[in-house]
Amino acid sequence: MAAYFASLNPNALWNAAPGGLAQGLIWGIMALGVYLTFRVLNFADMTCDGSFALGGCTAVMLILGGWSPEAVLLVSFIAGIAAGLATGILHTVLGIPDILAGILTQISLYSINLNIMGKANQAVPVNAVKVHFTSNIQYLGQTIALTLIVDIVIIAVFYWFLGTELGSSIRATGINPHMSRAQGINTNLMKVIALAVSNGLIALSGGILTEYQGFADVKMGQGSIVIGLAAVIIGEVLAEAIVGKRLNFIMRLTFTVVGGVVYYFVYVFVLWLKFPADDMKLLTAIVVAAFLAVPYLQSLRRNSFRGLARRNARLAAQQTSPDKDGKDKEAR
């Protein structure tokens, strides 16, 4: 045990922190996309595993084709929109249930991504092209600043968009589709728009991560829905704890990105503890399950039959033996 702790190097953790921050901010973009479908539209969209990798594959191939690394990200965004449209059409036009529609697009994107790259993974020629979102330790500060700006811009645009007539209609569709139709809102169109924008952001995030890590892999999106959900949920739990009742919409969005960063800090920390990298997905699932369970268990504590029984038993005990009650108080 002592040998294990001696083998842990605090400096290594310190050195890994900026990388964790950068990755957290990149996944934060993805988490904002997940927030739009999962929380605003109330739609569990499984497309994102595919669209995330789609963004990465598109980016790497276009960079290899001589495109500028910035223009490439725009194409990643558009490719993601197309993926979202596919899920939206499967769901609204063909009547396929939400989760299944997402899974169908996701699975088809696996083949599409393989076709785009021609093989399972491709490296970004980092020596030949100057990439702005680089993990090069020399420019890491610049990468973090740049990603932070992207996050802030997206949060601002989100805040504006969801406040517009169109955005309000999307929110209403997620909350009460019946009422939305009665107010003349084309709920199917709203779903398709939200899915498209969401997957656009997810693919953009995939494109940026590809530039950051220097390669794209058809499996890079595997489990990304869980990481996105982790960010959304960690963000919500933290926001509830820190801001409490005054939580407004812009804070919710900000904390979604914060959730992504926190997730990556946990990730870096656990790796630093020499956890085998193979077990990280298991760990992610445990983290998400824990954060999902917290609000539920909290509400249970406030509304617990057992708790009520205990309180009532205590009251009954007090009434039958007041002396003992006095002693109890002293003991406390």
Partner 1 sequence: MLEVRNISRTFNPGTINEKKALIDVSLTLADGDFCTVIGGNGAGKSTIMNAIAGAWPVDEGQILIDGQDVSGLSEYKRAQFLGRVFQDPMTGTAGDMQIDENMALAARRGQKRTLRWGVTSKERELYREELKKLDLGLEDRMTAKVGLLSGGQRQALTLLMATMKKPKVLLLDEHTAALDPKTAAKVLQATDRIVREGHLTTLMVTHNMRDAIAHGNRLIMMSGGKIIYDVEGEEKRNLKVEDLLHRFEQAGGEVSDRMALS
- Footprint on this chain of partner 1 (rule: CB under 8 A): 161, 163-169, 171-172, 175-176, 178-187
CB of 158 to partner 1, least distance (A): 13
39 vs 132 by CB, closer to partner 1: 39
**Cβ neighbours of residue 66 under 8 Å, at least 6 residues apart?**
none
Judged by CB, which is closer to partner 1: 132, or 181? 181
CA nearest neighbour of 283 among 256, 264, 257 = 264
Instruction: Compute the CA torsion angle 103, 199, 172, 236 (nearest 10 deg).
Output: 90
DSSP string, 96-119: --HHHHHHHHHHHHHHHHHHHHSS
Nearest distance, CB of residue 8 and partner 1, angstroms = 46
> What six digits make up the tokens of 29?
């973009």
CA 120 to chain centre: 24
DSSP type of residue 11: H
Q: Give whichever of 167 and 235 is closer to partner 1, judged by the CB atom.
A: 167
Of 14 and 249, which has the nearer Cβ to partner 1? 249
The distance of closest approach from Cβ of residue 242 to partner 1 in the complex, given in angstroms and rounded to an integer, is 21
Cβ of residue 279: shortest distance to partner 1, in angstroms? 38
Q: Which residues contact 206 (CB under 8 A, 6 or more apart)?
A: 30, 51, 52, 53, 54, 55, 56, 59, 76, 80, 216, 220, 221, 224
CB crowding 261-286: b at 16 or more within 10 Å, else e: bbbbbbbbebbbeeeeeeeeeeebee
Quick one: 101 or 193, whose CB is closer to partner 1?
193
Least distance from partner 1 to the Cβ atom of residue 245, Å: 12
In angstroms, give the least distance from the CB of 41 to partner 1: 12
User: Which of 184/322 has CB closer to partner 1?
Assistant: 184
Quote the least distance from Cβ 67 to partner 1, whole Å: 30
Nearest CB to partner 1, comparing residues 102 and 167: 167
